[in-house]
Structure 1
Amino acid sequence: MDRLYKNQSLLYKYFLYVVSIFCIVFFFPKGGKFKYEFQKGKPWQYENLYAPFDFSVKKTQEEISAEKQKVIDGQLNYYRFNEATAKEVFDEYDTEFVKTFKPEEHSTAELAMLKKTGQDILDRIYENGILQKSNSNEIGKQVYLIKQNEAYQINYDDLYRVRDVEGLMQRILEKKRLGSYTNAFQSVFFNLIKPNVEYDENLSKMALEEELSKLSLTRGTIDEGKLIIAKGEVVESDNYMILESLKGEFESELWASNNYYYILAGYTVLVALVLMMLFLFLKKYRNEIFENGTKVTFIFINILIMVFVTTLVVKYNEAFVFVVPLCILPLILKTFFDARLGLFVHVLTVLILGFVVPNSFEYIFIQIIAGIVTILTVSELYKRANLFISVGQITLIYIVGYLAFHIIHEGNLDNIIWLTLGLFLLNGMITLFVQPLIYIYEKIFGLVSDVSLLELSDTNSKLLKELSNRAPGTFNHSLQVANLAEAAANEIGANAMLVRVGALYHDIGKLSNPTYFTENQITNANPHDDLEPRDSARIIINHVIEGIEIARKNNLPDRVIDFIRSHHGTTLVYYFYKKQKELGGEVKQEDFKYPGPTPFSRETAILMMADSVEAASKSLKNPTFMVLDEFVDKIIGGQMAANQFLNANITFREIETIKKIFKHRLTNIYHLRVEYPE
């Protein structure tokens, strides 16, 4: 059980490894992988390829779209003739006629002739009927009119609108020389005429779908054994479509029931190899990250998110694959870790996505170049202008890369798909949302970015303001240490912003008892004079523990708390230790030692040196160049002799560089000048 407890971190990583492999393989599209890589405009690099089986050659999307449009343009819509409405009009005609043409005003022969004329007008109108709603798009076209359950093909212009009735009536009356009765017939037809022809949307839609379903998605077949392409032959539009058709047929046939588990196993092995490379890289070059389960989980979650989003987009429409802002991945990892890890993870993620995306070589090439540009251009992300400039450069690389591949494929810049260029711009806009994403990750995983460090470095923040009011000496000491440490970190390539923030907060534990520390004593009265040396040492040592508690109450990140915890390492409070020994009796060194741990990074080591040098320099009365030189060597040499830097990833050369920076800065602080002769 103890062994299991000791290895729980390693077991968790195994679990994370297996779950990640399963999720990635599960995301993958269900299909085999064609064993040949080819690109339009490039020579065929393999041996002569013969058709392994009979297959159909698929049409391009452009051809299919053109054929569909042709069917849509030539489609005849259906209109339905309402017999009941027409019959109702004819039935009501007699009543309306009698109301207008009274028997006492006309002779019987005249009434018969007028009534017959009205019926002729109605027959003419309702021969094809009157439209309920006209459609200008149908003018001049043929349509189907469904009358008595039979469809007749007629000209759309032969269907009357209500406004056409008056003109038709006048023409018939003029022809029969009955123009004087126009007003009378208008009053007859005013309330009588009703539209009775309606567009049949359902039937028209069904007919269109039926015609579209008849379209063939292929254009001929390739027989088994036929030469498809010879070695060295350039892949052009015709044989490119044949190869694409073979690829699709091959992958669909390969994903058969008997091959399912073999293909799944192949994908699993390849993904496992990629993720294993990530674990090996972390173990060998980033062991502090490898040992931290939260950070490893963070890296794997980001990889899974990118794979999942890209796969989802490819399944929806593979043309939108470049809208996925993949460069967010190296951006985030560089922000929280370092550039090399960000680029390494980005390349591994792109390799995994090569199984999913179309034109994998093109995709991998462009994405890796974009990732490198991201790593090289993005710096000081807390400056807003830098992010906009970097995203602009990334977008430009995408566009230039796409155009270069287009020229290779097509031989010119014709037929550029402008939608793809728009997708690159959209990709850049989405990448700008990395800032709120970084903030969310900070809160979820407890990580720290340069943006947060910049906020923490503000001396007007609540905690630093309280320190400056209650312990002004400690506050000024912290500022001096921050300046020294930041200069040293810049010189050796450490995280200067992190060191500065750590220096500003490293002594906040002195807020509990500020007057017990020399820099805050404004009178000659020293409270330590009334205490036993052992008790005084305990108060001095406790400022580390109390500082950690204050930091946690104020929600300072763990990376900043590390500076509070380790800035004295396991050194001895030598003054009170010596004083206790002078009093006699048994004295244990452990009672006068800081609890540690010792510094475990370059940044924490720099702070320890800067803190000791700055504090001790206050005791120098008449500093000279020689005195400062020996003084800095003595302080840092003593820390090295006490093995305070064994766990810090810092070299002797870097320590020597730090010494030089401290000496130079202290010289400026004390304004040392050449002594001029009198």
Structure 2
Amino acid sequence: MNVFYNKWYKNHALVYKVLLFIVTTLFIVYLFPKTGKFKYSFEKGKPWQSENLYAPFNFAIKKSAKEIKEEKAEITSRSLVYFELDKAVEQNVLSDYLARFNQVFIESNDFVSDKSDLYKKGQSIIKKLYDQGVLDLEYKYDDDRVVKLATANKVEKEVQYGSLYELSTLRGHIEADLGNAFPVEIKKRMVSIFFDVIQPNISLNETLTNKALEEELSRLSLTRGRVEKDQLIISKGQVIEEPQYDILSSLKSEYESQEWNTANYNWVLVSYTVLVALTLLMLLLFLQKYRNEVFLNNTKVTFIFFNIALMILITSLVVNVNSQFIYIVPLCIMPLVLKAFFDARLGLFTHVLTVLLLGFVVPNSYEYMFLQIIAGMVTILTVSELYKRANLFISVGQITLIYIIAYFAFFVIHEGQLTGLKLETFGLFVLCGLATLFVQPLIYIYEKIFGLVSDVSLLELSDTNTKLLKELSNRAPGTFHHSLNVANLAESSANEIGANAMLVRVGALYHDIGKMNNPTYFTENQSTALNPHDELSSKESAKIIIDHTIKGIEIAKKYKLPDRVIDFIRTHHGTSLVYYFYMKEKATNENVDVNDFRYPGPTPFSKETAILMMCDSVEAASKSLKEPTSTKINEFVENIINKQMENGQFLNADITFKEIQSIKKVLKSKLANIYHLRIEYPE
């Protein structure tokens, strides 16, 4: 059991990566469409590029969405419409008419001749109205549309919609029927009577109407024709016209149909899993070979896998809702984020792999992948110094422009003309660019969640007004001044060899914060001739000097400095000796233990930490130069750095001899400028 636990402990990082790999693979496969994928790409009006295509099985030719829409519209326009007829309304209206007529004419003192004829005329008008029917509302049907009048779900008769009376047209019909046989005043009173008593007796029966429409639509055929197995669909080089396009679309639909049997469905899942696993495996191999420090850090590997899964998740959700909005997903955020935390090469490699995986999710995958890969390249090439807001806005504008230009070119290639170009798509690209600006707060969120450090955070840490640096300047002003000088030297050296100048500058500013605990024990902070080391033994003095790295780490953790910055505090002396006190002790004690005078390390393990070690040693020792000349400075720099190389301080750092020579050159030039040296001319 102990052997098992020991193996688990030794390989727990690898086991974690395997589990992360499996979980991410399964999650991405879960997001993929659970169907087969048609292996051919085709466009209407373009030649068929593949070999002769024969039908692999029997299938029906599906009607296009446009055809189905037109047929549905036609069915809707001619389907039966049912109205509810209320026969009791006519009798009620006649009763009300009698009462109202008597009130207006019989009881009135106005003299009206032939009241009986007038009354009968009104009755005939009412009978005529209700023989046809009076509608309760105005409906949007054509006048020649056949409608059925029903009572208690029993059809009474069929009429044309135009023969029914609408309330808004009653005045005209009544006045026409009254004619000129009666005086104008009588006609006005009769019209007012009708408006008081007339009530609609016909209303739309939505239940029967909708049921009739559904029955008609249910008989609509979604297919037209059939293709038999082994039938030639299209020949190589043949232009894809409307008939061939419909057949190919139907075949593609069959492949991507949900009606797959269990065996085929399982094979589809297995195939997806293999392809996703291969893609993620390529990423892990890339990290192991070219970014081993990232590969060994499980947090960073998790961060990269999380971003891939997140982008695929967001894109899948958008495709499921409406695939027309896929270009609104700001996929270029991922290379921006990865470049901010790691480097451009890793960001582009991961972006390309993610786009390849998204090819299984999005429609028109080739066009999508081309646009996104080009946009990713532009992102990597244009975005520099992300902490500068102007740079981000300029880069986002360039990315949006590339999207628009590339999409425009694809549209012209597909359509052969500009007619039908949708400006809404360009608006989606603009929204995508605006969404890309969210990268700034996203980087901050990632820093807090995953404990990573970006250039934005480094810029904040480089501010000398931060609480920790202000405390350093107050308690150890000499050390603070030394740190500023080292930061300037280190930044110039990093720029010379292409290292992370911002990171090494921040590391230089904080590398000696441990000296705040005992500032007077370090020469740069001694303002008087008194030296507290005179009262201590060499071993005690060495311990105080060595402890400033350990104290610095404690202070850095207290102030929650990032681990990448703490690495500079830990490594800036490597495993070198406190040489002065070691030689002083050795002069009186031949059996001195060298480990008592050696820094605990570790040695620098990156270009940036190696640069800091060189610049720190050179700047500190340069204070002892008397009457410096160019020759003295050159020999001085060479001796210090060569001694560090001989002691193996740079064996773990990824730095070359050529880069070390470049750093020496920068340090010599900077020191010459500091001491205001001129060129030494031969006598």
TM-score, shorter chain, exceeding 0.5: yes
Query: 316-325 vs 626-635, which deviates more?
Result: 316-325
Hey, what's the Cα distance between the residues in 1 that align with 2:85 and 2:576?
102
| CA displacement at 1:671 relative to structure 2 | 0.8
Hey, what's the Cα distance between the residues in 2 that align with 1:143 and 1:623?
111
Change (3 A) 1:555 1:134: farther
The answer for the alignment partner of 2:366 in structure 1 is 361
Contact 2:455 2:502 in 1 (8 A): yes
Partner of residue 304 from structure 2, selected from 292, 299, 305: 299
Hey, what's the Cα distance between the residues in 2 that align with 1:256 and 1:674?
85
Contact 2:577 2:599 in 1 (8 A): yes
Query: 137-146 vs 399-408, which deviates more?
Result: 137-146
Query: 547-556 vs 479-488, which deviates more?
Result: 547-556
Hey, what's the Cα distance between the residues in 1 that align with 2:206 and 2:198?
24
Secondary structure, counterpart of 1:259 in structure 2? helix
Tell whether 2:527 aligns with 1:488. Answer: no
Hey, what's the Cα distance between the residues in 2 that align with 1:233 and 1:308?
39
Contact 1:43 1:232 in 2 (8 A): yes
The answer for the alignment partner of 1:559 in structure 2 is 564
Contact 2:630 2:679 in 1 (8 A): no
The answer for the alignment partner of 1:315 in structure 2 is 320
Change (3 A) 1:471 1:610: same
| CA displacement at 1:81 relative to structure 2 | 4.7
Partner of residue 94 from structure 1, selected from 98, 121, 125: 98
Amino acid corresponding to residue 180 of structure 1 in structure 2: E
Change (3 A) 1:657 1:238: farther
Hey, what's the Cα distance between the residues in 2 that align with 1:76 and 1:450?
71
Mapping 1:621-660, distance limit 5 Å:
621-660=626-665
Hey, what's the Cα distance between the residues in 1 that align with 2:387 and 2:86?
72
Mapping 1:506-585, distance limit 5 Å:
506-584=511-589
Secondary structure, counterpart of 2:197 in structure 1? coil
The answer for the alignment partner of 1:154 in structure 2 is 160
Tell whether 2:55 aligns with 1:55. Answer: no
Tell whether 2:420 aligns with 1:415. Answer: yes
Mapping 1:164-563, distance limit 5 Å:
164-186=169-191, 188-189=193-194, 191-195=196-200, 197-198=202-203, 208-252=213-257, 255-563=260-568
Hey, what's the Cα distance between the residues in 1 that align with 2:417 and 2:322?
26
Instruction: Note the alpha carbon deviations across 1:392-438, whole angstroms, 9 max, x for none.
Output: 22222222222333333232333334443333222222222122211
Instruction: Note the alpha carbon deviations across 1:434-453, whole angstroms, 9 max, x for none.
Output: 22211111111011111111
Query: 427-436 vs 607-616, which deviates more?
Result: 427-436
Hey, what's the Cα distance between the residues in 2 that align with 1:603 and 1:216?
71
Change (3 A) 1:25 1:189: same
Hey, what's the Cα distance between the residues in 2 that align with 1:130 and 1:143?
16
Instruction: Note the alpha carbon deviations across 1:274-304, whole angstroms, 9 max, x for none.
Output: 1111111111111111100000011111111
Contact 1:48 1:230 in 2 (8 A): yes
Query: 410-419 vs 616-625, which deviates more?
Result: 410-419
Instruction: Note the alpha carbon deviations across 1:10-56, whole angstroms, 9 max, x for none.
Output: 00011111111211111111111234344555543433212223322
Secondary structure, counterpart of 1:101 in structure 2? helix
Hey, what's the Cα distance between the residues in 2 that align with 1:307 and 1:40?
29
Hey, what's the Cα distance between the residues in 1 that align with 2:658 and 2:418?
55
Change (3 A) 1:186 1:411: closer
| CA displacement at 1:158 relative to structure 2 | 4.2
Hey, what's the Cα distance between the residues in 2 that align with 1:191 and 1:437?
70
Contact 2:138 2:166 in 1 (8 A): no
Hey, what's the Cα distance between the residues in 1 that align with 2:328 and 2:76?
31
Change (3 A) 1:499 1:275: same
Amino acid corresponding to residue 300 of structure 2 in structure 1: K
| CA displacement at 1:662 relative to structure 2 | 0.8
Amino acid corresponding to residue 248 of structure 2 in structure 1: L
Amino acid corresponding to residue 19 of structure 1 in structure 2: V
| CA displacement at 1:68 relative to structure 2 | 4.4
Amino acid corresponding to residue 342 of structure 1 in structure 2: G
Instruction: Note the alpha carbon deviations across 1:40-97, whole angstroms, 9 max, x for none.
Output: 5554343321222332223333444444455566677665455555554333333323
Contact 2:80 2:147 in 1 (8 A): yes
Gaps of 5+ in 2: none
| CA displacement at 1:220 relative to structure 2 | 2.9
Hey, what's the Cα distance between the residues in 1 that align with 2:87 and 2:596?
109
The answer for the alignment partner of 1:612 in structure 2 is 617
Hey, what's the Cα distance between the residues in 1 that align with 2:535 and 2:215?
102
Secondary structure, counterpart of 1:643 in structure 2? coil
| CA displacement at 1:632 relative to structure 2 | 0.7
| CA displacement at 1:152 relative to structure 2 | 3.9
Secondary structure, counterpart of 1:252 in structure 2? coil
Partner of residue 12 from structure 2, selected from 5, 8, 25: 8
Instruction: Note the alpha carbon deviations across 1:183-204, whole angstroms, 9 max, x for none.
Output: 4335534543445554555655
| CA displacement at 1:660 relative to structure 2 | 0.6
The answer for the alignment partner of 1:667 in structure 2 is 672
| CA displacement at 1:179 relative to structure 2 | 3.3
Change (3 A) 1:310 1:170: same
Hey, what's the Cα distance between the residues in 1 that align with 2:88 and 2:595?
109
Amino acid corresponding to residue 356 of structure 1 in structure 2: V
Instruction: Note the alpha carbon deviations across 1:583-608, whole angstroms, 9 max, x for none.
Output: 43753222222222111111111111
Secondary structure, counterpart of 2:506 in structure 1? helix
Change (3 A) 1:78 1:47: same
Change (3 A) 1:288 1:37: same
Contact 2:497 2:662 in 1 (8 A): yes
Amino acid corresponding to residue 336 of structure 2 in structure 1: L
Hey, what's the Cα distance between the residues in 1 that align with 2:245 and 2:460?
56
Contact 1:78 1:143 in 2 (8 A): no
Contact 2:82 2:150 in 1 (8 A): no
The answer for the alignment partner of 1:588 in structure 2 is 593
Amino acid corresponding to residue 26 of structure 2 in structure 1: F
Change (3 A) 1:520 1:178: same
| CA displacement at 1:343 relative to structure 2 | 1.3
Query: 458-467 vs 649-658, which deviates more?
Result: 458-467
Contact 2:78 2:145 in 1 (8 A): no
Secondary structure, counterpart of 2:60 in structure 1? strand
Hey, what's the Cα distance between the residues in 2 that align with 1:235 and 1:377?
41
For these two proteins, the number of residue pairs brought into alignment is 676
Change (3 A) 1:438 1:217: farther
Change (3 A) 1:187 1:507: same
Instruction: Note the alpha carbon deviations across 1:504-563, whole angstroms, 9 max, x for none.
Output: 111122222222222122222222223232222222222222222222222221111111
Gaps of 5+ in 1: none
Hey, what's the Cα distance between the residues in 2 that align with 1:437 and 1:208?
52
Tell whether 2:123 aligns with 1:119. Answer: yes
Hey, what's the Cα distance between the residues in 1 that align with 2:668 and 2:174?
111
